[in-house]
Chains A and B, each alone.
Chain A
Amino acid sequence: MLTILFDGIAYGMLLFILACGLTVTLGLMNFINLAHGAFAMAGGYITVVLMNRYGISFYWCLPASFLVTAILGLVLERTLYQWLYKADHLDQVLFSIGIVFMSVAGADYFMGGQQQLINLPPELSGRMDVLGVGIGRYRLFTVVVCSLLAIALQLILSKTRFGSRLRAAVDDRRVAMGLGINVPLVFALTFAFGSGLAGLGGAMGAEILGLDPNFPLKFMIYFLIVVSVGGTSTVSGPFLAAMLLGIADVAGKYYVPAIGPFVIYALMIVMLILRPNGLFSRGIGR
């Protein structure tokens, strides 16, 4: 029981790291980026290539995948995304689906359609017994890293100058511009950071979530649920939403394998009926 709960937490943490970049994109620029998963997939493949082809240590691969996808995000933001901030949602949806299709076919072309496996360092594989609860070492590692990241994110947002600028820009873009905040720059950096996090999440998640060219499509719904249930105004909203989703999904697949895949949809529908404006929306009428 507790093992499953722990697995669910690890899964939820990963989802949070994967999706939190998207909450900023949405909250700040009102941009619906369905291609967020493509960045995560890029991170995963970078790790696979670095480890399996060049034999680089897993621990080095993680920051590398963060950096490379962050740069990739920055480049794409400056060249393509920035032109569509003012476009309507249909355009954004079509554009980002286009990116998804390209990344799926591209991954297939370069890496092949099979599931990618990574060989974890020995100290991270296997399970250990903690007070009678079987805990996967790698999942423990995931939980620790993701918690640290979540805390760091919360601190960056609440304590640093960049964080306060970002929050100001999310709250009211025009006012922020008026205050002399360089919103496009703030956003470009945030977009890059969010993409980097997605890449890191993809790298860490390759073991737990699996990695194949369909990754961006498979996880699109998870990201959307995390963001629309958790809202875009806080860090804690998406975090809780991701945890809820992770635990429900893992528990559902374990306890009721026949209907396991439907647990998240049921969750989504219940949430829609109870809280149509998101689990943690700001007051009435937004």
Chain B
Amino acid sequence: MSLVEQEDAGALATTDAATDSRAARLMKRRSRIRLYEVAIWIAVIAAYFVLPSKMLILTEIAILALFAVSLDLVLGFAGIVSLGHAAFFGLGAYVAGLLALHFVAEPVTGLVVAGLITGLLGFLTSFLILRGSDLTRLMTTLGIGLMMAELANQMAWLTGGADGLSGFSLNPIFGVFEFDLFGKTGYVYCLVVLFLGVMIMRRIAFSPFGLSLKAIKSNAMRAGMIAVPARKRIVTAYTIAAVFAGVAGALLAQTTSFVSPDVLAFHRSADVLMVLTIGGTGYLYGGIFGAILFTLVKDALSIVTPQYWMFWIGLILVVLVLVGRERLNRWVDYLPKRMAGREDDR
């Protein structure tokens, strides 16, 4: 800290070496692992031991979190509002389900295949969201989401139509870890995948690529003027996001041994937007915080009013926006600073 003040006093007097090392340290500070990150991972691991009877809802949270984190790459980094992110989630679920039903019952293989196929869909559809305004992007993403849902509905011979896809069971993970009745293996499995997913996306977030995405979101015109090829970057980001959304969907199919047509429903796309909004966009962990809060609230609501919880979710959304997302998310802004402090300048 004292170094900063010294340099304020005489920027010209400092040697190159001192400035350089300071610049390097400043840059490293950005990608430093924060305390809250460690805390959240400890908490979710502790949940395994503390809440043995809540494995199913914990699994649900982990899956929703991965789904939301994948959307963050599109929304929080690239700044694209999507109303159809469930298209990838649902496709991943169906791919994993069909794979287990007809070909391979090994879960990790299923995840990889689901990720690859949804990634392909993401890549192809990304070209449709490149041009036009927010409005056309909303229309396109919503349209693609609905189209996938309709497709699943029409191809009943493959997907089971409105009845969904069932009757498959999964082999032990890598042939070793068997899924148990209480969902313990399932939770650990989802947690490991979530962790890997977040770590990969975290790496991406602090790369030049991640920085360029934020630049596009912040000021697309200027980004172009420092040679950022916005379209290429959006295609890549959208594809990566689709892969992880697909993996999240595949996890759902694998842990529940069931794929309902609901995986492609519009409300799922809306839910995940809401999750991310509650948790905060642009720093990845918002997806996890949001998933925890959202799932708990939704769970409580569906116990109180099984049929009309949608009303309350809607009300929460309206209030959330009127109160102001920024004001609500400010705690998240403070959190990293307060908890990570500025100890790194020492």
Direct contact between the two chains A and B in their complex (CB within 8 A):
yes
**A261 adjacent to chain B (CB < 8 Å):** yes
Interchain CB contact under 8 A, A268 and B315: no
Of A84-92, A152-160, A167-175, the one with at least 4 CB within 8 A of chain B: A84-92
> A261-283: which residues lie under 8 A (CB-CB) from chain B?
261-262, 264-265, 268-269, 272-273, 276-278
Closest CB of chain B to A117's CB: distance in Å? 22
Known contacts: A101-B311, A102-B315, A106-B311. The answer to whether A224 contacts B321 by CB under 8 A is no
Of B28-36, B114-122, B134-142, the one with at least 4 CB within 8 A of chain A: B134-142
Interchain CB contact under 8 A, B142 and A221: yes
**A26 adjacent to chain B (CB < 8 Å):** yes
Q: Of the candidates A32, A94, A272, which one forms a contact with B132 in the assembled complex, judged by CB atoms under 8 Å apart?
A: A272
Q: A32-B135, A90-B273, A221-B139 are in contact. List 11 more A-B contacts (CB 8 A).
A: A95-B318, A98-B316, A102-B318, A106-B311, A109-B311, A221-B142, A224-B135, A228-B135, A269-B128, A272-B140, A276-B132
- The chain A residue sitting closest to B136, CB to CB, is A228
Known contacts: A105-B310, A225-B143. The answer to whether A97 contacts B135 by CB under 8 A is no
Contacts between the two chains (Cβ within 8 Å), count: 132
Of B19-27, B146-154, B230-238, the one with at least 4 CB within 8 A of chain A: B146-154
Q: Of the candidates A100, A101, A227, A273, which one forms a contact with B135 in the assembled complex, judged by CB atoms under 8 Å apart?
A: A227
Interchain CB contact under 8 A, B131 and A272: yes
**Chain B residues near A105 (CB, 8 Å)?**
308-311, 314
- The chain A residue sitting closest to B316, CB to CB, is A98
What is the CA–CA distance of A158 and B267 in the complex, to the nearest angstrom? 40
B-side interface mostly: helix
Interchain CB contact under 8 A, B128 and A272: yes
Q: Of the candidates A97, A100, A103, A225, which one forms a contact with B139 in the assembled complex, judged by CB atoms under 8 Å apart?
A: A225
Interchain CB contact under 8 A, B325 and A268: no
**Chain B residues near A89 (CB, 8 Å)?**
81, 134, 138
5 sampled A-B residue pairs with Cβ under 8 A: A84-B321, A101-B270, A220-B266, A262-B147, A276-B132
**Chain B residues near A269 (CB, 8 Å)?**
128, 140, 143
> A26-68: which residues lie under 8 A (CB-CB) from chain B?
26, 32, 34
Interchain CB contact under 8 A, A101 and B317: yes
What is the CA–CA distance of A212 and B342 in the complex, to the nearest angstrom? 57
What is the CA–CA distance of A106 and B273 in the complex, to the nearest angstrom? 22
Interchain CB contact under 8 A, B317 and A98: yes
What is the CA–CA distance of A32 and B273 in the complex, to the nearest angstrom? 16
Q: Of the candidates A32, A94, A103, A221, which one forms a contact with B317 in the assembled complex, judged by CB atoms under 8 Å apart?
A: A94
Interchain CB contact under 8 A, B134 and A262: no
The 8 A-B pairs at the shortest CB distance, nearest first, are namely A101-B314, A98-B317, A105-B311, A276-B131, A102-B314, A98-B318, A224-B139, A95-B321
**B15 adjacent to chain A (CB < 8 Å):** no
**A93 adjacent to chain B (CB < 8 Å):** yes
Known contacts: A93-B138, A94-B277, A228-B136. The answer to whether A265 contacts B143 by CB under 8 A is yes
What is the CA–CA distance of A227 and B128 in the complex, to the nearest angstrom? 17
**A130 adjacent to chain B (CB < 8 Å):** no
**B251 adjacent to chain A (CB < 8 Å):** no
Interchain CB contact under 8 A, B320 and A261: no
Known contacts: A94-B277, A94-B317, A98-B321. The answer to whether A32 contacts B138 by CB under 8 A is yes
**A258 adjacent to chain B (CB < 8 Å):** yes
Interchain CB contact under 8 A, B154 and A261: yes
Closest CB of chain B to A132's CB: distance in Å? 34
Interchain CB contact under 8 A, A221 and B143: yes
**B38 adjacent to chain A (CB < 8 Å):** no
Q: Of the candidates B135, B147, B315, which one forms a contact with A265 in the assembled complex, judged by CB atoms under 8 Å apart?
A: B147
**B250 adjacent to chain A (CB < 8 Å):** no
What is the CA–CA distance of A278 and B133 in the complex, to the nearest angstrom? 10
Interchain CB contact under 8 A, B310 and A265: no
Interchain CB contact under 8 A, B322 and A83: yes
**A104 adjacent to chain B (CB < 8 Å):** yes
Interchain CB contact under 8 A, B139 and A80: no
What is the CA–CA distance of A101 and B301 in the complex, to the nearest angstrom? 14
**Chain A residues near B219 (CB, 8 Å)?**
none
What is the CA–CA distance of A97 and B154 in the complex, to the nearest angstrom? 27
Closest CB of chain B to A30's CB: distance in Å? 9
Known contacts: A93-B83, A95-B322. The answer to whether A101 contacts B313 by CB under 8 A is yes
**Chain A residues near B311 (CB, 8 Å)?**
101-102, 105-106, 109
What is the CA–CA distance of A106 and B305 in the complex, to the nearest angstrom? 13
**A99 adjacent to chain B (CB < 8 Å):** yes
What is the CA–CA distance of A34 and B139 in the complex, to the nearest angstrom? 10
What is the CA–CA distance of A221 and B81 in the complex, to the nearest angstrom? 15
- The chain A residue sitting closest to B265, CB to CB, is A217
Closest CB of chain B to A31's CB: distance in Å? 11
Interchain CB contact under 8 A, B321 and A91: yes
- The chain A residue sitting closest to B75, CB to CB, is A90
Closest CB of chain B to A262's CB: distance in Å? 6
Interchain CB contact under 8 A, B318 and A80: yes
**Chain A residues near B2 (CB, 8 Å)?**
none
**Chain B residues near A91 (CB, 8 Å)?**
321, 325
**Chain A residues near B75 (CB, 8 Å)?**
90
What is the CA–CA distance of A221 and B142 in the complex, to the nearest angstrom? 7
- The chain B residue sitting closest to A101, CB to CB, is B314
Closest CB of chain B to A268's CB: distance in Å? 5
> B289-324: which residues lie under 8 A (CB-CB) from chain A?
307-311, 313-318, 320-322
- Residue of B131, B311, B322 contacting most chain A CB atoms (<10 Å): B311
What is the CA–CA distance of A264 and B325 in the complex, to the nearest angstrom? 34
Known contacts: A90-B277, A98-B321, A269-B128. The answer to whether A224 contacts B314 by CB under 8 A is no
What is the CA–CA distance of A97 and B136 in the complex, to the nearest angstrom? 17
**Chain B residues near A258 (CB, 8 Å)?**
154
Interchain CB contact under 8 A, B81 and A90: yes
**Chain A residues near B154 (CB, 8 Å)?**
258-259, 261
